[in-house]
Chain A
Amino acid sequence: MNFELTEEQKMIRKMVREFTEKEVAPRDEEMDRTGEFPYDIMKKMAENGLFGIPYPEEYGGAGADSVCGVITIEELAKGSASVALTLDAHWLAVDAINLFGNEEQKKKYLTPALTGEKIAAFSLTEPVAGSDAAAIQATAELDGDEWVLNGTKAFVTNGDAADIYVIAVKTDKSKGVKGISTFIVEKGSPGFSIGKKEDKMGCRGSITTELILKDCRVPKENLLGKEGEGFKIAMVALDGGRMHVGAMAVGLAEAAKDIAVKYAKERYAFGQPIGNFQAVQFMIADMEMEIEATRLMVYKTATLRDKKIRYSKEAAMVKVFGSEMAMKTAKNAIQILGGYGYTRDYAPERLLRDAKLLEIGEGASEVLRMVIGSTVLRSK
């Protein structure tokens, strides 16, 4: 066991940290206020190679390990949960293509996604099916050399901003999860359109939309993996996503803690800095302990992924533990800032709104606790 980051992990952390401090953090308040997607930040991230860090060099990535990947998300989330979420969703689609795509699909779609030339999105959820993902209703039927997709998909992170969509639909309605297949769909395909843009409570610099598939025609070769393999592809991609949500939780909580600590030193009450009061110190102590515990879980999960050991349970654990930790940390940061914490002049209220998503997207805490619990019970 070695708790020290390697030289490259340290260098990646330093690079992403500098990038975030300069290019991302100063923009988060404005993104939250306007709800505008930061295309310019994405362009800078692309120019600086941030889209491909933990993916193969032969497809335009940097060839770094998954620990570098979680570090990237963690550092970005210190400056903006929205920007980190954009990359997390991008990597969901990237994981699906990288792990299940054939050579042509990788050349055509993975490479521009890793260089950041194109943004990617991953779409499983529908208006009628979220946690119960097997209940999706959108369909695809083969018509000659093309698949014809129909249905409405919901809550697609990077919807509209993305050029590449990995979409799960039913190719066999008579089967449950085994009837689901995934397709790579390009924006602008005939019959493909963007529906409603969600007006969210947090992560407002990330864009979430509906997708409308109306006789949407996709070339036959855009089936990802095998027919009927879609649910498995989605679950494997979500393992990576949940790990990255854990990393987001660490970064977000770290940002909340920094503000709380600074404030606790500067704010005077009863003739002394409020940080002198044990009640405040205890909140800060909890923040420190829980952030560190989550970080270690996240890095360990990434290490399992690098060793190609299945990490579904660990990914679910870091997501539940991390998202609840981020909520608590943001909430206590507001408490330490008192009345000011409740205003938009300070970041903690925004961080709390951002953190709430982490308990819902990519598997609600209740559902993931079932995954963790049933895995434990099965193995004992």
Chain B
Amino acid sequence: MNIIVCVKQVPDTMDVKIDPVTKNLIREGIEGVINPFDKNAIEEAVKIKDEYGGKVTAISMGPPQFKESLKEALAMGVDEAILISDRAFAGADTLATSYVLAEAIKKIGNYDLIFCGKHAVDADTGQVGPEIAERLGIPQITFVKSLKLENDAVVAERLLEDAVEKVTVKLPAVITTTKELNEPRYPSPIKIMKAARKEIPIWSASELNADPEQIGLKGSPTQVVDIFTPEKTTEVEMIQGTAEEIANTLFEKLREKKVL
């Protein structure tokens, strides 16, 4: 079983600040961590490898400091890690990102399963996993909460808003993971020692023979026009009446505001 896990490093904070001029996330002083759902992806991949044998490769597209997250993936039991990094990749939206990751996956080749987190907690799109599947022309199961291998197929339960859907697809396939799938292990100290000393190969645009039209800003049809932190208000409205009246009014108000 050869498995590839796509890992993204995200800021370790709920309180992300945005540069009002460049509209980029302010990353200075904020530690990077593995996107939480990607940890579930790593855990599942390592678990499957432990049971069926094979090899797990983690890949990440991003700046050199993303190496830290790849090293943590190694310390969690991943066998190989590759950083895909090039100035030419900068400014990529999900389409350009999935193009680069798919090209890297093709270069690695001979894969049975590809894992991605259901979405990254910084940008929140959830598009990269499905796009990779489309680019590779293989099936995908998103929002997976449980997973089983059966011969050359994978049977998975998808966690939908009001239901759980059971899906079977043939391998190879792309799986996107939820936090319900498993409890990610801690990195092991012994593996940390090995991971810290390991050289992580870096693949650039030219090593991937990437089409310059499809990478970075050029390959990104999404334009961020504006981005801002929503203003917080502390307006409070007191609802009066009997318990029943209060409940009814509250229900109506929440419906009006489309919370329900």
Contacts and interface: CB of A to CB of B under 8 A. Distances in A.
Interface stretch (A47-55, A118-126, A198-206, A246-254): A47-55
Contacts of A263: none
Interface stretch (A6-14, A96-104, A130-138, A230-238): A6-14
Interface size class, chain A: 10 to 19
B189 A12 contact: yes
Interface residues of B, number: 14
B188 A8 contact: no
A63 interface: yes
Query: Which interface residue of B71, B72, B192 has the most chain A CB atoms within 10 A?
Result: B192
A64 interface: yes
Contact of A63 (B71, B72, B193): B193
A18 interface: yes
Contacts of B72: 11, 14
B186 to A, nearest CB: 5
Interface string B180-201: 0000011111101101110000
Query: Which interface residue of A8, A50, A68 has the most chain B CB atoms within 10 A?
Result: A8
Contact of B187 (A7, A15, A52, A57): A15
Interface in B165-223: 185-190, 192-193, 195-197
B186 A11 contact: no
Contacts, number: 48
A15 B75 CA distance: 10
B186 A8 contact: no
A11 B192 contact: yes
Contacts of B189: 12, 15, 48-50, 52-53, 62, 64, 68
Interface string A274-311: 00000000000000000000000000000000000000
21 contacts: A6-B196, A7-B71, A7-B196, A8-B193, A11-B72, A11-B75, A11-B195, A14-B72, A15-B192, A18-B186, A19-B186, A48-B186, A48-B188, A50-B189, A52-B189, A57-B193, A62-B188, A62-B192, A62-B193, A64-B192, A64-B193
Interface of A: 6-8, 11-12, 14-15, 18-19, 48-50, 52-53, 57, 62-64, 68
Given A14-B187, A62-B189, 11 more contacts: A7-B71, A8-B192, A8-B193, A15-B75, A15-B186, A15-B187, A15-B189, A19-B186, A48-B186, A57-B190, A64-B192
